[in-house]
Structure 1
Amino acid sequence: MNKKTILIDGSKGEGGGQILRTALSLSMLLNQPIEIQKIRAGRKKPGLMRQHLTCVLAAQQICDAIVEGAELGSQRIKFTPATTKPREYEFKIGTAGSTVLVCQTVLLPLALAGKASKVILHGGTHNGMSPSLTFFEQSFLPALKSMGLDCKINTHKLGFFPAGGGSWQIDINPIESLSPCVFEKPGTELEQQQNHCRALSIIAGVKHSVAKREIEEAKQLLGWHAPNTEILEAKAFGQGNSFHLSVGHKHQIAMFEQMGELGLRAEQVARRTVKSLKHYLKSGAAVEEHLADQLLLPMALAGRGSFTTNVLSSHTVTNINVISQLSGVCIKTQQLSDTLWKVYLD
């Protein structure tokens, strides 16, 4: 029996590309036809940009979907999935658009498809407008590992904005189902946070002194004299710099990142990153806002779970609503204080 197509308003709530990506993932996972209208309608450049179009085409390829409206600038697509096929795939964005977001669109459908897959991606890895490949590998994937999903990343080349040109692959081991996530307390106790803090500066074609200044400024502002520090001189298509502060260990790592920019001093890059980290630490939350948004779909698929976060963003609220519309799963939120929310499914 053919399922009725579910109509989704792509302009509701936050109104960005997250609606498209979550809807595509669930469409494949539930074998549910969808039609998305008003895609990114409120944006300066509405409709599908190259990165979003690559998400649609990647989803189409892995499940032999019938698709209407898959073209640049389109504000409407109709997506009718067939069976997801686990195997090797290669997707190219052609710009500095986020390869991480393309990967996240197909990751869970492929992981739950019964056999191993490999996905090779080309495009942006660090563009400042979405979670970086570093965040994906060091924060998101460890959280998923606690839920049973084990993946391996092999980075060939980073792709900074505006040049792009990054290249990496992910090997996805199959799982039958996801275990619930429970992240309600910070990954490390308050008195241990200094010992579990890591400062990482990634540079490509940028002076080594820039990375040193970022790290020294962060150490001074935090008052932490000996966090784990690393300067990574990366292979990349163009020049770039990305600064990261993370706290936690094992499966629960909160990461904060800031791209270096022309005209932005290394000290300013560090200050912005430290400000975000301090806001998170003060809240007592287990999960920062970007990871919170990305844990919603895995939690819905697991059927149970909970976490606390320091920001209930419009991205998160919109994502909750899309998941509810397509799957019927009702993720709940509860404000515990001015800077602490609980997100849960029971």
Structure 2
Amino acid sequence: MRPQHLEALRACCMLSKGHLEGDEVGSQEIYYFPGKGLRGGSFSWDIGTAGSTTMLAFTVLPLALFADKESSFSIVGGLFQDFAPSAFHMQEVLFPLIRRMGAELDLKILRPGYVPEGGGHLQLKVKPLNGPLEPIRLLKQGKVKEVRGICLASHLEEQKVAERMARQSEKLLMEHGVRARVQVIEDATALQKGAALLVVAETETGCLLGADQAGKRGRRSENIARFVVSSLLEDIRTGATTDRHLADQLILFAALAEGRTEYLIPMATDHVQSNLWLVQKILGAKTEIQGNLIRIDGIGLKPNEK
């Protein structure tokens, strides 16, 4: 058990008024006894490492949507690293889609955090739902109407890391006939040097597809831009209405919603398959994949049924 996983379990326990046993680093068995109801309020967690703050935020979000009052979460740890959702992707891609489903939520980056020191600070605010989440239907990608990006670099202004990522991203996209607007952010508040890049495409039908990557020692700015741009273009070319990460991130919220959610994915990853299996087994939602089309018949969970 890693520190961020333990914090996620402890967070669930606090919101559900439950009880945990065996919640220690390295533990092979953990027992969770949920309480009755879900409580909102103000909560703070410091993961203590560069463990993912966004994964912890993703864990508490569905609970907070069905809590008895508004919730505010202050989470300290890593915000930009490999193998975890980036804070930028959550802000610019995932959350706008969840808002369309009826949620009221806000995510602020108070301080960036990177591997290995962490120390990033994320603030999440969530209002409880008045009714079930609404399903979402994204069945046609449509023409890309805008491509925008965010380049962040901490303590790297002299090396022009953010500027180089931005210009290279714009250049590569232009080579494919896509004009992009990429914002450059120079940060001096992080505990260490670090960088991150996100590029998002928005289509005429309201689809959002994003691609991102964090900086890393030995990972050149130009290579980060090349990876992010190529990932985004690959997903767009499939005709998908979600990117490869949003494809599995939406599954839980679709399973909780009332009615059928449908969207097109770039590919059926292991994360997609496992998340579909979980919402079937745990929530009883009906799911189906036909080619690149995902259908999820949500359970229509209402706030008073939490």
Partners of 1:109 and 1:86 lie apart in 2 by 9
Q: Residues 29-48 of structure 1: matches in 2 within 5 Å?
A: 48=1
The 8 Å contact of residues 203 and 240 in structure 1, kept in 2 or not, is answered as yes
Q: Which residue of 2 aligns with 1:133?
A: 87
- The share of aligned pairs that are identical, in percent, is 27
Partners of 1:170 and 1:260 lie apart in 2 by 24
Partners of 1:143 and 1:172 lie apart in 2 by 15
Partners of 1:155 and 1:217 lie apart in 2 by 25
TM-score by length of 1: 0.80
Q: CA deviation at 1:113?
A: 1.7
Q: Which residue of 2 aligns with 1:15?
A: none
Q: CA deviation at 1:306?
A: 1.0
Q: CA deviation at 1:162?
A: 1.5
Partners of 1:211 and 1:155 lie apart in 2 by 17
Amino acid at match of 1:88: S
1:213 aligns with 2:213: no
The CA RMSD measured in Å over matched residues stands at 1.7
Q: Which residue of 1 aligns with 2:219?
A: 264
Q: Which residue of 1 aligns with 2:296?
A: 345
- SS state at 2:250 partner: helix
**Counterpart among 321, 325, 328 of residue 284 in structure 2:** 328
The 8 Å contact of residues 112 and 177 in structure 1, kept in 2 or not, is answered as no
The 8 Å contact of residues 276 and 287 in structure 2, kept in 1 or not, is answered as yes
Partners of 1:312 and 1:241 lie apart in 2 by 29
Q: Which runs of 5+ in 1 are unaligned?
A: 1-47, 336-340
- SS state at 1:331 partner: strand
- SS state at 2:44 partner: strand
Q: Which residue of 2 aligns with 1:185?
A: 140
- SS state at 1:90 partner: strand
Q: Which residue of 2 aligns with 1:117?
A: 71
Q: CA deviation at 1:203?
A: 0.7
Q: Which residue of 2 aligns with 1:311?
A: 267
Q: CA deviation at 1:221?
A: 2.0
Encode CA deviations 1:54-91: one digit per residue, 9 max, x unaligned.
10111111112122221111232221211211111111
Partners of 1:228 and 1:217 lie apart in 2 by 12
Partners of 2:50 and 2:245 lie apart in 1 by 20
The 8 Å contact of residues 139 and 291 in structure 1, kept in 2 or not, is answered as yes
Q: Which runs of 5+ in 2 are unaligned?
A: 298-306
Q: Residues 99-248 of structure 1: matches in 2 within 5 Å?
A: 99-175=53-129, 176-186=131-141, 189-190=142-143, 193=144, 195-207=145-157, 209-222=160-173, 223=175, 224=177, 226-234=179-187, 235-248=189-202
Amino acid at match of 2:118: G
The 8 Å contact of residues 127 and 162 in structure 1, kept in 2 or not, is answered as no
Q: CA deviation at 1:121?
A: 0.7
Encode CA deviations 1:232-259: one digit per residue, 9 max, x unaligned.
1233222111111110169642110011
- SS state at 2:275 partner: helix
Partners of 1:325 and 1:113 lie apart in 2 by 23
Partners of 2:90 and 2:45 lie apart in 1 by 17
Amino acid at match of 2:282: L
Partners of 1:112 and 1:247 lie apart in 2 by 31
Aligned length: 289
The structure 1 segments of at least 4 consecutive aligned residues displaced by more than 4 Å after TM superposition are none
Q: Which residue of 2 aligns with 1:302?
A: 257
Q: CA deviation at 1:225?
A: 6.7
Deviates more, 1:232-241 or 1:142-151: 232-241
Partners of 1:158 and 1:251 lie apart in 2 by 29
Q: Which residue of 1 aligns with 2:301?
A: none
The 8 Å contact of residues 170 and 182 in structure 2, kept in 1 or not, is answered as no
- SS state at 1:52 partner: helix
Q: CA deviation at 1:326?
A: 1.1
Q: CA deviation at 1:260?
A: 1.8
Deviates more, 1:279-288 or 1:76-85: 76-85
The 8 Å contact of residues 162 and 186 in structure 2, kept in 1 or not, is answered as no
TM-score by length of 2: 0.90
The 8 Å contact of residues 182 and 305 in structure 1, kept in 2 or not, is answered as yes
Q: Which residue of 2 aligns with 1:67?
A: 20
Structure 1 residues 225 and 215, CA, compared in 2 at 3 Å: closer, same or farther? farther
The 8 Å contact of residues 142 and 252 in structure 1, kept in 2 or not, is answered as no
Q: Which residue of 2 aligns with 1:84?
A: 38
**Counterpart among 239, 255, 276 of residue 284 in structure 1:** 239
Q: CA deviation at 1:325?
A: 1.2
